[in-house]
Structures are given as C-alpha cells and as structure tokens.
Amino acid sequence: MCTSRLAKRDAKRCCATVIGLSVTGALDAILSHEHSKEIRRYLYNHQNKDGGWGLHIEGPSTMFCTALSYVSLRLLGEEMDGGDGAMEKARKWILHRGGVTTIPSWGKMWLSVSFST
C-alpha cells in the first residue's frame, strides 16, 4: 500500500503504486483522502524549479519521472490547473521537451496501462 511514509522514501515507487491501484480500480478503496492529499503534497514539495521531477528529490528533471508524477497527481484527483500553478509548470516542462512521446519505452508502458481503463 502506498502510504505517506512510502511516499517519503520513494516517490517513483509511489507513482507506480498509484497507477497500479488506478488500473485495478482499487485507488479510492486503498488510499484514503488523507493519503492522497499527503502524496500530492509530497510530490509538489519535490517538484524541481523547472517544473519537472527527477529520479530522486535532488535529481534533475526527466521526462519519465515528470510524466509519471503528473499522471499520478491527475489520478489522485488533482485538477488540470491545480497545485497553485505546479500542474501548469509540469505540463509546460513536458511540452517544451517534445511531449510525452519522448518518454523511454518503459515509460510508454506505464502510460499505456494508465489510460487503458
């Protein structure tokens, strides 16, 4: 289960958990509103100044991590323009670098299952 403690250890594992729970239809059953809120808070607090996310909290932004973080936030109920501008910054980061189609193949797999339901 993805808890706030897990989110503090490994944001990317948490993103994978959010996507997996969404695909299985168990997201709302497993994560309470408070857990979802904490995961969103954690992700926002570790967003890089350029609008993206890295493999770890001090890492440079990558398409893979930015795309998964953005998708996870949306799956957790964040509005397209939510997060006090953070979602817009992330979207701009992705689009400025050619869009999510530039993500590595394993990222495309995660995205394909995210939107197949």
Does a structural domain hold residue 35?
yes
Tens digit of pLDDT for each residue in 80-115? 999 999 999 999 999 999 999 998 888 888 788 766
Query: Distances in Å between the alpha carbon of 97 and those of 43, 51, 93, 94?
Result: 21, 12, 6, 5
Q: Which CATH number do you get for residue 108?
A: 1.50.10.20
What is the pLDDT averaged over residues 56-71?
92
Does a structural domain hold residue 117?
no
Contacts of residue 62, defined as CB under 8 A and 6 or more positions apart, other chains included, come to 52, 53, 54, 55
Q: Measured in whole angstroms, how far is the alpha carbon of residue 92 from the centre of its chain?
A: 15
pTM: 0.85
| 3-state secondary structure at position 27 | helix
Does a structural domain hold residue 69?
yes
Does a structural domain hold residue 66?
yes
Q: Which one-letter DSSP state was computed for residue 101?
A: G
Does a structural domain hold residue 91?
yes
Tens digit of pLDDT for each residue in 5-26? 544 456 667 888 899 899 899 9
Our count of domains for the chain comes to 1
Which residue segment(s) compose the domain that 57 sits in?
4-112
Does a structural domain hold residue 89?
yes
